[in-house]
Structure 1
Amino acid sequence: MREQPTGEAVEDDEDLTGVMWPPETEIEAPEVHASLAKAVAGSRGVRFFKTRLIDVASDVSLGNIQMAIDETAGEACGIYQTTHIAEMDANTGDPILVNEATRPFKFPCSGDFDEAISTLCENMRLAGVIR
């Protein structure tokens, strides 16, 4: 189930926590992060998707998700990617950005993207990657 706001007025005392995501986009194998591609190497019928995570409370983008779903095997595998400023270039003052990705999380899945991303997010919460 996609965790999205209802569009209705929200009362001040309502607990707005967790993450939501816009609809997924299917991507081709060359766009897939190397660690995700390696984790599903040899699987047949794998489809790749991407989306981003948004913090519900602040409406701030937290990072990106890439997901591989193998309907034949009944498995999914996903990674969470973030970009942050590592330091500032001493000569130009420009930020030096670093891209990071979690290790691939592999788990059983019926093939539904919303089920897969919900499971991935729960795994990442349990691992302390997201709140």
Structure 2
Amino acid sequence: MCEHPTGEAVEADEWVPSGVMWPPEREIAASEVHGSLVKAVAGSKGVRFFTTYLIDVPTDASLGRVQMAIDEIAGEACGIYLTVHIAGVDAETGDPILVDEATRPFKFPCTGGVEEAISIFSENMRLAGVIR
């Protein structure tokens, strides 16, 4: 038996966790940030940038990367979700041609720090159907 998040006891094989998790985020330099995120926070002072990747809890599969801009002075965060897709195959080498895709920047109020910002952002991406 194990305890479901609602507090209800369930058989261990009945409950499948859902949602996403991520390893500790790391701070990155502005030069490493996707151009659309830099543009979305242009003019803000004291912005710090962070990155991590999302993991689907039930399957343990990597879903993509998140980049966050945190403006502690304004109490705002702005994030983008980045994925890589195979666009084709190089005819000469047979290697896959990889293409980065990014969501539009999503800006929202956040005063709780990076962990809270990633949580809010991930939930909004799930509600929008971008991630499961």
TM norm structure 1:
0.89
The residue that corresponds to 1:101 in the other structure is: 102
Match in the other structure for 1:58: 59
Runs of 4+ with deviation above 6 angstroms: none
* Residue in structure 1 matched with residue 17 of structure 2 by the alignment: 16
In the alignment, what sits opposite 1:116?
Answer: 117
Cα-to-partner distance string for 1:45-93 (whole Å, 9 max, x where unaligned): 1010000001101111111000000010000000000001111223322
In 1: Cα distance, 2:33 partner to 2:88 partner: 27
Computing the radius of gyration over CA atoms, which structure comes out larger, 1 or 2?
A: 2
1:71-90 alignment to 2 at 5 Å?
A: 71-90=72-91
Partners of 1:53 and 1:20 in 2: CA distance: 6
1:69 alignment counterpart: 70
Unaligned stretches of 5+ in structure 2? Answer: 1-10
Distance 1:74 1:99 in 2: 29
**Gapped regions of structure 1 (runs ≥ 5):** 1-9
Instruction: Give the letter aligned to residue 117 of structure 2.
Output: A
1:6 alignment partner in structure 2: none
- Return the letter of the residue paired with 2:35: A
